[in-house]
Structure 1
């Protein structure tokens, strides 16, 4: 995100904290069981921090499923679309955040929501929530985070799988993905390290320009509008080597190393140096310092880039069925020294985001049933979207099974919904009408890990992992032949010993002192600014970073680092604890 947005949100977070604390004494929530529900249609207001669209979802296939099962309509309030943290502040001040609440819990927010009586204790309904109860330890972890006994919410992304198994399914989130067709054209050269990757990317850029006659093709194109504690593009490159960032520090998957982004010669500086060298070689799109995500992703779709830092950038925009049949698309590069970071499955879910019932909601028992349904196989399929993850529902015509309910297989409709032209895929009127894209759930809440196992079929919810859905395209076959005959990216990384799995712990950073938050905001701004300056600083890379370290230290970074190091220590302990719990 842009620096202005970072600062604004940091200030807003402080206001939100003050708002919640002021409400703690005057909230009027009730933990008693609901009054009798007559079953009539009701419109449910959903405060949804994850949603990217808002308003009443009154038509389409998901709306019809929800209406038929629960006789409710969902009216989504999405701060991401309009209002930002101001929406949270205003609704909190009114004492009514929403009937259903999907919200982040970080920095002590959950504890404040409970104290302010803005969310309901679901204990009276919990005995009937048979699907949620399968993840009882996840529910208890939320109660611990809330600082009070009760059923205050259910986290997203829960799983029944081992926390030491990779949760991504068939591909890592952040890893070096290259235009495999162009890599093939230049003869599959060896890629030993990041310097070797730059040399290969230079050859690929030259070849692509030669093939097309276009000189606006670059090895990589970057963007600024999602930067946070640091430059996101560089931070993600650190994940290629087994690190994730939390606050201002990087933590290795095995927990043996914690280092600040400012560390001289550290993993973040190595990523910045890679980008600096790329810039000096003419491999970076000159629009990178000014363009946003939307502009950059359009360039990827139009074949203007050779490198994708993430699987979810290049693959969905280039690897269409038509392109893959021709051998065209992004595939994982054989970078010899990579050790790709992977999050393990989270038995206790992603405690950073929960779904809860608002204290002022009516017919709470019905809402509890709706939440429970989202954690059922039927609800998981019904919550599918158009960007990967779980298959769309069997009853929508998305897949079939054999007579025993096993061997799930996508239908033609399902294939188009999952990987084809889903925007123009029509849904019959009796199933909700309109198009597939118009109809999918706008909640953007994934209750259960999409790569978890459906107990009915015995296979993952994600159709990309089905036995019936193995990739047989020209692109995949050529890639596999050069990558140890791997069946997918994760399979290759595991076979080659290039995967670093961090145990899937549910951990949320606690509330921090307001002075630390204020200093953190300044540190973020300086870190991000210096990062962009460093990659474009011809001959002044080291000097730019040295000056930035001095500025950051003078801002009082020592206190922020102390907090982040303790939080890192707690995360590492949480990883150890979840592994013990799973045994």
Structure 2
């Protein structure tokens, strides 16, 4: 048996990508029992550490200095190595700990599986969904944090974390009542922080006549005019109306499905094979004939028919796409933050005297923008400690440091006197020079010990224990972004023009006044992991849907599009899509019931709205 497993192709790179959770759990349980360290030729180079040195990749101690390894799936950072800069300096001063990050970036789920197979799990693991956390918990590879409560006072003795801990121990511990992973982003939803908002290049939009948009499909005509006005960049590079990437695809073409968030429809948190309408509280298969997913596929199909879609969309990486945005080579964006460096003041666009430009909020009047729920139990992003970590004491010290509210305040803003100061009455505010540092967040401009860029504080973690809009004891939010003076910070020339069009200084005010918000529920974070049998079905269906979706977008004509759609639905149903849909309908119903126990009509976040 041992020989068959070790010689099997299942440990090849492609096999890991295709393996279902059921088989993965079996393999990992075998590895855990035998202590095997597999040689994954061409993947991880045996059991070498990320830097190429021999060993398990676990904690290293050098006199009083400790180096912990970490793999944070939710991070957008693609670089690896020792954490440096002002945030890392704070950690070292407080704990004598350095963190050696494994590269995240693309295909993080597959990377985690490869690390597990190689016996090379890092000390600290950041998960970006419950399935991955459940996988390691089932394999008995995570420490039960409650057994180290004395070493983790920041987690167990911080009032704001109580509900999140209680819910996680009761509902996501396999009935053990233990805390194997700690949620992040706990607290009220951040004010004016919308993840999915349609953006258009402002100068080209104005030159197209700044037409009013009524529906999603109106963007096709408008963007077509914009590309006619600006077919190439100043350096001669081709400009596309739309461009996508496929790095984050799991069971669907995720960035195509993401258009649903313009209409209050979740297409990721409950399941990427389901779309959950936040307004009607209904969830249905993305393969229904009247699904938004089909509408989104048709939208990009039409964009391609018009020659507006980047032909690299199905294969390019996120980093390659971000570069195109930085160069102004794409007219439309679906994320509120996806514009590369094009909107940076230093790029010279947003404050251009003659033609202010940048990616600007331009919404269709029928939209209901998805607003995240108040995360009273946290979101499905977690931090955990690997069970075979060699220095549990220092790993706990690091996790305790990371969840300390005072440390989080430091990581969000930097030290007082760096980019921010306090008025005589105690009100914090960002200085004029501080805004320069923040606006150029990836430049090495931090005027404090440790140096580096402003994003050094949170970048490698993406999310911290508490939401950025959590109120601290001084009555102000934990992050500078929601301090009173920050909400009215000087506008760029472009933003001033956009605000004049909206008639509001803050997007949230415009959305609420025009009934264009779909406020979500924490029920989206309360869907339990599926059984192994169900996971098999989902993985097989996802393989079909993910691949066929891109074929649909690039279909020859409408007849081919419809034939491909019907064939995809037929194959999915044969693989058990109806069973999957019924499972999630029941799980969603139960999640809504549980959510009602935690949610109230008195939202903390509303106190931040002006």
Aligned to 1:259, which of 245, 267, 284? 284
**Aligned partners of 1:293 and 1:83: how far apart in 2?**
13
**Aligned partners of 1:285 and 1:89: how far apart in 2?**
32
Write out aligned runs for 1:121-160 (5 A).
Answer: 121-125=145-149, 128-129=153-154, 132-144=158-170, 145-146=172-173, 147-159=175-187
Secondary structure of residue in 1 paired with 2:91 = helix
Secondary structure of residue in 1 paired with 2:244 = coil
Does residue 1:278 correspond to 2:303, yes or no? yes
Q: What's the counterpart of residue 370 of structure 2? A: 341
Does residue 1:223 correspond to 2:245, yes or no? yes
Shift of 1:86: 6.2
TM-score normalised to structure 2 length:
0.79
Q: What's the counterpart of residue 420 of structure 1? A: 440
Does residue 1:180 correspond to 2:202, yes or no? yes
Shift of 1:442: 3.1
Q: What's the counterpart of residue 194 of structure 1? A: 216
C-alpha offsets along residues 197-230 of structure 1, whole Å, 9 cap, x if unaligned?
A: 2222222222223996968222212223322221
Report if the CA contact (8 A) 1:156-1:354 is conserved. Answer: yes
Secondary structure of residue in 2 paired with 1:325 = coil
Shift of 1:461: 0.5
Report if the CA contact (8 A) 2:441-2:454 is conserved. Answer: no
Report if the CA contact (8 A) 2:88-2:98 is conserved. Answer: yes
Write out aligned runs for 1:84-123 (5 A).
Answer: 85=110, 88=113, 91=116, 97-103=121-127, 106-107=130-131, 109-110=133-134, 113=137, 116=140, 118-123=142-147
**Aligned partners of 1:211 and 1:105: how far apart in 2?**
39
Gap change, CA 1:348 and 1:216, over 3 Å in 2: same
Q: What's the counterpart of residue 525 of structure 1? A: 543
**Aligned partners of 2:132 and 2:446: how far apart in 1?**
44
Gap change, CA 1:232 and 1:465, over 3 Å in 2: farther
**Aligned partners of 1:464 and 1:5: how far apart in 2?**
44
Does residue 1:74 correspond to 2:74, yes or no? no
Q: What's the counterpart of residue 49 of structure 1? A: 73
Write out aligned runs for 1:222-241 (5 A).
Answer: 222-241=244-263
Secondary structure of residue in 1 paired with 2:153 = coil
Shift of 1:195: 3.2
Shift of 1:479: 0.8
Write out aligned runs for 1:542-581 (5 A).
Answer: 542-580=562-600
**Aligned partners of 2:279 and 2:539: how far apart in 1?**
29
Secondary structure of residue in 1 paired with 2:312 = helix
Secondary structure of residue in 2 paired with 1:570 = helix
Report if the CA contact (8 A) 1:122-1:368 is conserved. Answer: no
Q: What's the counterpart of residue 403 of structure 1? A: 424
Does residue 1:293 correspond to 2:309, yes or no? no
C-alpha offsets along residues 23-54 of structure 1, whole Å, 9 cap, x if unaligned?
A: 78899xxxxxxxxxxx9433333354345457
Gap change, CA 1:43 and 1:122, over 3 Å in 2: farther
Does residue 1:329 correspond to 2:347, yes or no? no
**Aligned partners of 1:460 and 1:487: how far apart in 2?**
22
**Aligned partners of 1:319 and 1:441: how far apart in 2?**
17
C-alpha offsets along residues 256-288 of structure 1, whole Å, 9 cap, x if unaligned?
A: 321211110221111122222222223222333
**Aligned partners of 2:249 and 2:365: how far apart in 1?**
28
Shift of 1:501: 0.8
Q: What's the counterpart of residue 33 of structure 1? A: none
**Aligned partners of 2:306 and 2:165: how far apart in 1?**
52
Gap change, CA 1:441 and 1:86, over 3 Å in 2: closer
**Aligned partners of 2:13 and 2:209: how far apart in 1?**
45
**Aligned partners of 1:118 and 1:156: how far apart in 2?**
17
Shift of 1:446: 2.0
Q: What's the counterpart of residue 31 of structure 1? A: none
Does residue 1:307 correspond to 2:332, yes or no? yes
Does residue 1:380 correspond to 2:408, yes or no? yes
**Aligned partners of 1:514 and 1:135: how far apart in 2?**
31
**Aligned partners of 1:453 and 1:198: how far apart in 2?**
42
Shift of 1:337: 0.7
**Aligned partners of 1:6 and 1:515: how far apart in 2?**
21
Shift of 1:98: 4.7
Aligned to 2:491, which of 466, 472, 480? 472
**Aligned partners of 1:446 and 1:208: how far apart in 2?**
40
**Aligned partners of 2:424 and 2:158: how far apart in 1?**
28
**Aligned partners of 1:77 and 1:85: how far apart in 2?**
13
Report if the CA contact (8 A) 1:172-1:489 is conserved. Answer: no
Secondary structure of residue in 2 paired with 1:191 = coil
For CA contacts below 8 A with separation 6 or more, give which structure has more relative contact order: 1
C-alpha offsets along residues 436-488 of structure 1, whole Å, 9 cap, x if unaligned?
A: 667876344422112333433613504266424524222111111111x2222
Gaps of 5+ in 2: 1-11, 36-62, 604-610
**Aligned partners of 2:558 and 2:208: how far apart in 1?**
30
Secondary structure of residue in 2 paired with 1:546 = helix
**Aligned partners of 1:192 and 1:508: how far apart in 2?**
34
Q: What's the counterpart of residue 35 of structure 1? A: none
Gap change, CA 1:54 and 1:574, over 3 Å in 2: farther
Q: What's the counterpart of residue 393 of structure 1? A: 415
**Aligned partners of 1:347 and 1:83: how far apart in 2?**
27
Shift of 1:353: 2.8
C-alpha offsets along residues 274-328 of structure 1, whole Å, 9 cap, x if unaligned?
A: 2222222232223334433233222222122211111121275335353211221
